[in-house]
Structure 1
């Protein structure tokens, strides 16, 4: 499943309503140099976790299977692969942010640089 950055707030609302007291995760799977260029602003409604795609196979156990996870990359391709990987590992509440941080800048926060 995927959602656009414009749908992210609605996803957060539904995720919290379905699991009160559980904070959703925005999993940014871009490379560290990409984080330096552009990043989602921290927000109390979700936890921002940075885990470059290449590190996910070793680090995915750090992610709580009970928490809703939205995966983000530059345009949405790498994050879609991470979603599929996590689903194969038994995570069942995982979505892809279609369009990635580029679309995030266009649809949610114009202060986020595009690259």
Structure 2
């Protein structure tokens, strides 16, 4: 499984743009629970943001494009790692885990994002 840190996200986004210049924006898939989203969230910048709680991913799989690059995000990176593994097993081609999750995002990219 490929992992990136929040600080490496912009590099990953640039790599995706170079590999797929005519493709859709990469997707950051936030797999946290709704209450977590209300506590802390990220602002899309160069990517589309979609929230699907981890427990609902199998039922909502049709909402995701297996050809689209996806970076999975959770609180610390454990749930998102499980989702990456699941999506890889479902045939998704380009999926990465954002290691450290939104907690590390607050430290590396945006201190305005609350830590919880």
TM-score, reference length from structure 1: 0.97
Larger deviation: 78-87 or 17-26? Answer: 17-26
Larger deviation: 82-91 or 59-68? Answer: 59-68
Task: Give the count of matched residue pairs.
Answer: 114
TM-superposed deviation, 1:42: 2.5
Distance (Å, rounded) in 1 between the aligned partners of 2:31 and 2:56 = 9
Distance (Å, rounded) in 2 between the aligned partners of 1:21 and 1:35 = 31
1:1-115 equivalence runs, <5 A: 1-22=2-23, 23-43=25-45, 45-115=46-116
TM-superposed deviation, 1:67: 1.0
SS of the residue 1:70 aligns to: strand
Runs of 4+ more than 2 Å apart: none
Q: CA RMSD in A?
A: 0.7
Larger deviation: 61-70 or 23-32? Answer: 61-70
Instruction: Show CA shifts across 1:70-114 (max 9, x none).
Output: 000000000000000000000020000000000000001110000
TM-score, reference length from structure 2: 0.96
Structure 1 spans left out of the alignment, 5+ residues: none
